[in-house]
Amino acid sequence: MADTSFETLIFRIENSYFGLYIDQVEAMSMVDAIPHGVPRLDVLLGYEPVASLNHPHLIRVRCRSGRSADVLVEASAGILEFKSRDLRGLPSLLDGHLRSGPIWAAALVEDRIVFLLDLERLPMEPSCEA
């Protein structure tokens, strides 16, 4: 069975790492002023917005519908390449709680747990839905 490689853009929020497939990212740029109405990824994921973003970046996500949607993130922690053998199933007790959320899988890369995100499951603005 082929061991496929994936490239993900990594973000760190508190002590957790989140990955977004590069193919889903249409553009990423640093912004000086927070654009009105664009949600923060940490808030969409359920974190308390304890501080303002130090290095706010705007990510334009390429939706499957062909549309684009924007989300604000703290500067990326880098690009991480991992293999399909690094993918891990979500623990059985969490599976039901996460099923309708943005985390669809996890990867274990160099002892670091990375949650893989499908941003289309989050209420971004504008929405990915046509």
Partner 1 sequence: MSPRKRPSTEEIVQELKERRSQEVIEVDEKTQQFVVVSVGEDWFGFPGSQIREILSHSPVTAVPGVPPIFLGVINVRGDLESVIDLARVLGLERHANPRQERILIGHAAGLSSGILVDTVFDIIDVPMSRISDSVKIADRQKAHYFTGEFEFRSRPVVVIDAGHLFTDLLRPA
If binding means CB under 8 A, how many residues of this protein chain bind partner 1? 26
User: Is residue 1 exposed (0-12), middle (13-18) or buried (19+ Cβ within 10 Å)?
Assistant: exposed
Find the shortest distance in angstroms from Cβ 115 to partner 1: 7
* Measured distance CA(24)–CA(8) in Å, rounded: 9
Find the shortest distance in angstroms from Cβ 127 to partner 1: 19
The contact pattern for partner 1, residues 56-95, with x = CB under 8 A and - = no contact, is --------------------------------xxxxxxx-
Q: Which CB sits closer to partner 1, 86 or 125? A: 86
Among residues 23, 35, 108, 126, the one that binds partner 1 under rule CB under 8 A:
108
Report if residue 39 touches partner 1, rule: CB under 8 A: no
Contact (Cβ atoms closer than 8 angstroms) between residue 113 and residue 103: no
Report if residue 32 touches partner 1, rule: CB under 8 A: no
Report if residue 14 touches partner 1, rule: CB under 8 A: yes
Report if residue 49 touches partner 1, rule: CB under 8 A: no
Binding site residues, partner 1, CB under 8 A: 13-17, 45-47, 88-94, 96-98, 101-103, 106, 108, 111, 113, 115
